[in-house]
Structure 1
Amino acid sequence: MVAITLPSNYGAVIAVALGTIPVLSFVHGSITTSLRKVAKVPYPHSYATVEQCKESAKAEQFNCAQRAHANFLENAPQTMLFTLVAGLKYPELATGIGALWVVFRSLFMYGYVYSGKPQGKGRMLGGFFWLAQGALWGLTVFGVARDLISY
C-alpha cells in the first residue's frame, strides 16, 4: 500500500488544476459557440470555409476562436496533471505557475479572437503559456526523479 500525504496547502493546487482550468475551458466553449451563430457556420462543420472567411470577418473570427479552443483542449489535460503532481512536492510553485498558465492562456485566447490581427497572430500575446507548461512538466519530472533517486 502506498500512502500519499498531501501538503496542507494543496487546496490551492486543486483550485487551479480542477477549478480554474475547467472554467477557462467553459469560457472558450461559450465564446466559440456565440461566434458560430454570428458566423453562420452550421453544425457539424468545425470551421468556416475559406470562401466564408473571405466574405465575412466574423467567419474568420469564429475560426480563430475554434482554433484557440482546440489548442486549449490539446494542452489542458497534461497541464492539469502536471499541476496536480508537481503540487505534491512544490504546492506554492505549482499553484503559481499553474495560475500563470491560465493567465497566458487567457491572453492567448483574447489575442487570437479579438485582436483583429490577420491569421490569428494576436495569439502571440499569450504564447508564453508554453514556458509555464514546460516549467510544470519540469517540476513534475524533477520531483518524481528526486524521489526515485532518494530510494
Structure 2
Amino acid sequence: MVTFTITPEYGYTLAVSIASSVLLTVLGHRVGAYRKIANVPLPSAYADAAEAKVDKKKHLFNCYQRVHQNTLEGYSSFLSTLLIAGLRYPIAAPVLGMIWIAGRIFYSIGYTSGEPNKRIMGAWGHIGDVGLLGLTGKMAWDLVMSA
C-alpha cells in the first residue's frame, strides 16, 4: 500500500491553485466588460465574424473571449496535474504552476492586443503544463511499479 503525507509545503500548491482561479476570474470579467463595449448581446459567445472584420471593438471582444475560452479548455488538466503532482513534489509543482499562470498572462496580453499572432509570446507557459504532466506521470509510474 502507498500512502501520501501532505506536508506544510503543499500549501504552495494550494496557493497556486487559488492564483489560477483568480486568473480565470479576471479573464472572465474582462470578457464581460468588453462584451458591453463591443455591444455583443448574450447569449452570443462571439461577435459575428463579418461584423468583427469591420468593427475593431467586436474583433477585440472575440480576442478577449478566445483567450478566456482557450484557458478554460486546458484548465482541468492543469489543475488536476498541479494538485496531484504537488503531493509528491510540493515545491516543483507550484513553480511549474506559476510558469503556466505567467505564460497565460503573456498569452492574454498578446492575444488581446488585437493581433492574435502575438499570443505566441506566452507559449513558454506550456513548460508548466508539460512539467506537471511529467511529474504526474512519474508518480503514476512509481505507483504502478511498486504494486
1:148 and 2:147 matched = no
| Partner-residue secondary structure (3-state), 2:4 | coil
CA offsets 1:88-143 (integer angstroms, 9 cap, x no match): 111100010001100001111111112x32xx111111112223201101110112
Structure 1 residue 78 displacement after superposition: 1.1
Q: Which aligned runs of 4 or more in structure 1 are off by greater than 4 angstroms?
A: none
RMSD of the alignment, in Å? 1.5
1:132 and 2:128 matched = yes
Task: Name structure 1 gaps, 5 residues minimum.
Answer: none
Task: Name structure 2 gaps, 5 residues minimum.
Answer: none
Alignment length (residue pairs) = 147
| Partner-residue secondary structure (3-state), 1:91 | coil
| Partner-residue secondary structure (3-state), 2:110 | helix
1:88 aligned partner, one-letter code: L
Instruction: Provide the identity percentage.
Output: 34
Q: Which moved more, 1:47-56 or 1:26-35?
A: 47-56
* TM-score between the two structures when normalised by the length of structure 1: 0.91
Q: Which residue of 1 aligns with 2:11?
A: 11
CA offsets 1:12-41 (integer angstroms, 9 cap, x no match): 001112x01110000110111111111111
**Equivalent residues in 2 for 1:115-130 (5 A)?**
116-117=114-115, 120-130=116-126
CA contact (8 A) 2:27 2:68 kept: yes
2:60 aligned partner, one-letter code: Q
**Equivalent residues in 2 for 1:2-151 (5 A)?**
3-17=3-17, 19-114=18-113, 116-117=114-115, 120-151=116-147
| Partner-residue secondary structure (3-state), 1:128 | helix
